[in-house]
Amino acid sequence: MDAHTLPALRPAPFPRRGTRPGRAEIHFHILPGVDDGPRDLDESIHLACLACLDGTVTVVATPHVRGDFVADVADLPDRVREVREALTEEGIELQVLLGAELGHDMVGLLDGAELELLAQGPPGARWLLLETPFTGIDWEFTAAARELREHGFSCVLAHPERAVGVLDDGCAAFAAEIAEGSVAQINAGSLDGRHGIDARRAGFALIERSPCVISSDAHGRRRVPSLSAGLRSAIAQGVRHDVAHRMVDDGPRALLRDGLKLPRAARAA
């Protein structure tokens, strides 16, 4: 697979919405019929409309790439093009980039070109969204993250607050990943309790502990774009306004524009 066939999927500069630049969603299931996200194209278009109303101008399409959903990534560029064409036809101004929510079980099964196809950020600062297992951060997950770094990719950890035991031992497993240069992506729905009290508590604890970004992890009508709600939840819980805006607005944009560099030790290895 030749990743260089996708120059049009690189992010464009962020247009402004009102007084602020438009938002970016880095974790968003918008491709129809490939995973547990939207069931059909109409539902994808509905999600896109709601994202626009939430101030978003760019979403990264992040289908589950793991054994039980998308195991073959070769047709994902066509699926993204299908959504982009439908949005253009409907007059919806939303940029859709190709990405993935990568299951750690798939890391050893994809080659470098396939990983590159799913990564974000400019050359030299490429990163992948790695799904944190709900069962907890275990040695297999840690090994997969290390393998990605050996391939030259940094990791953005998808919803670590939803992992069982993430706060155990002073967040030791989570902290070890952050020390390796990973960034945490917290679900907006965790902050208002939609994922349960444990995820809410863990979400705010992780936000205190390390720089995070927030995404909707939208899945269709049952979980819709919610960056504004996430911002309100964070501020209502006492997170400083500038920190909350960095998590919702500046942080995700910076990840797409500037990428995420590996720590010096990992680059030298």
Q: Radius of gyration (Cα) for the chain, nearest Å?
A: 17
Q: Tell me how far apart the alpha carbons of residues 56 and 222 are, in angstroms, rounded to a whole number.
A: 19
| Cα 57–chain centre separation | 15
- Nearer Cβ to Fe ion, position 112 or 196? 196
Q: How many residues bind Fe ion (CB under 5 A)?
A: 2
25 binds Fe ion (CB under 5 A): no
Question: Residue 88: CB partners within 8 Å, gap ≥ 6?
Answer: none
Any contact of residue 35 with Fe ion (CB under 5 A)? Answer: no
Q: Does 114 sit near Fe ion (CB under 5 A)? A: no
Q: Kindly identify the residues of this chain, within the stretch 205-234, that bind Fe ion according to CB under 5 A.
A: 217
The rounded distance, in Å, linking the Cα atoms of 263 and 115 is 19
Positions in 151-170 near Fe ion (CB under 5 A): none
Which CB atom, from 114 or from 217, has the smaller least distance to Fe ion? 217
Backbone angles phi, psi at 204, to 5 degrees: -70, -35
The residue among 24 and 262 lying less far from Fe ion, judged by its C-beta, is 24
Q: Per CB under 5 A, which of residues 78..97 are in contact with Fe ion?
A: none
Q: Is 101 in the site for Fe ion (CB under 5 A)?
A: yes
The yes or no reply on residue 249 touching Fe ion (CB under 5 A) is no
Per CB under 5 A, 116 contacts Fe ion: no
- The residue among 161 and 217 lying less far from Fe ion, judged by its C-beta, is 217
Q: What minimum distance in Å lies between the beta carbon of 240 and Fe ion?
A: 27
Nearest Cα to Cα of residue 46 among 9, 92, 82: 92
Pairing assessment for the beta strands 20-21 and 23-28 based on DSSP bridges: unpaired
| Smallest gap from residue 241 Cβ to Fe ion (A) | 27
Least Cβ distance, residue 101 to Fe ion (angstroms): 4
3-class secondary-structure state, position 134? coil
Q: How do strand 56-61 and strand 20-21 relate by DSSP bridges?
A: unpaired
What residues make contact with Fe ion under the rule CB under 5 A?
A: 101, 217
